[in-house]
Amino acid sequence: MQSATQRPAAVLIGPPGSGKSTVGQLLAARLGVPFRDTDSDVETVAGKPVSDVFVEDGEERFRELEAEAVRAALDGHEGVLSLGGGAIMHEPTQKLLAGQRVVYLQVGLDQAVRRVGLGSARPLLVLNPRSRLRALMEERRPVYERLAVLTVGTDDREPEDVADEIAAAL
């Protein structure tokens, strides 16, 4: 892994339901660093929830805001950073992630569906959420795998155990 002065300490990627926010907060506490979620950054800039940005402004606008949030966070955040599931599909973001401590939180479809819920307010999962989540996971998996310097499975595991494994690897 990179040196201790590397910024951020870790970047968590993975599909919805992989545990990026939950594990990220636990990992940040273990490392004694702040936690930041780019979806929250987008909500702050937009002044509304991500789901409203999608509905009112469109996915393209959301992706613009997301790319800027990721760029700013990678440049200025020294703690644990959680990226939205689709942020890695933006090629300039992929380039920015090169050389970072990227941790892919891997989750199976059944567990992701259980964690996200079929009645989710996630905009990309509105129609036929299970089928849509499967398609998103399959499309993004090769990119997650290529960007990651560490892959950690989260199926049937407590978030604390996942955070411990990542902290030990870092």
In the chain the domains, ranked by start, together with CATH numbers, are: 10-169 (3.40.50.300)
13 Cα distance to chain centroid: 4
**58-69 exposure pattern, b = at least 16 Cβ within 10 A, e = fewer:** eeeebbebbbeb
- Record the pTM: 0.88
**What pLDDT, in 10s, does the model give residues 128-165?**
567 878 888 899 999 999 999 999 999 999 999 999 99
Are 9 and 101 in contact, with CB atoms under 8 Å apart?
yes
| 10, 69, 118, 130, 169 from 125: Cα distances, Å | 27, 22, 8, 8, 33
At 104, the pLDDT band (50, 70, 90 cuts) reads: very high
Identify the pLDDT of residue 1. Answer: 40
**pLDDT average, residue stretch 37-50:** 93
Average pLDDT, the chain: 88
Residue 55: is its pLDDT beyond 80? yes
Give yes or no for residue 6 having a pLDDT over 70: no
Q: Is the pLDDT of residue 37 over 60?
A: yes
pLDDT number for residue 135: 87
3-state secondary structure of 52: helix
State the average pLDDT over residues 61-67.
Answer: 92
Report in angstroms the alpha-carbon separations of 148 from 116, 142, 144: 23, 10, 6
Q: What are phi and psi of 107, to 5 degrees?
A: -145, 145
Determine the angle formed by the axes of helices 159-169 and 20-31, rounding to 10 degrees. 50
Contacts of residue 68, defined as CB under 8 A and 6 or more positions apart, other chains included, come to: 45
* Residue of 117, 108, 123, 122 whose CA lies nearest to 157: 108
Share of the chain above pLDDT 70, in %: 89
Looking at per-residue pLDDT, the higher value among 9 and 111 belongs to: 9
> To the nearest whole percent, how much of the chain has pLDDT over 90?
66
Higher pLDDT, 123 or 167: 167
Distance CA 154, CA 167 (A): 15
Lowest mean pLDDT of 74-78, 104-108, 110-114, name the range: 110-114
- For the segment 35-60, the average pLDDT, to the nearest whole number, is 91
Write the CA distances from 10 to 88, 117, 151, integer angstroms. Answer: 15, 27, 12
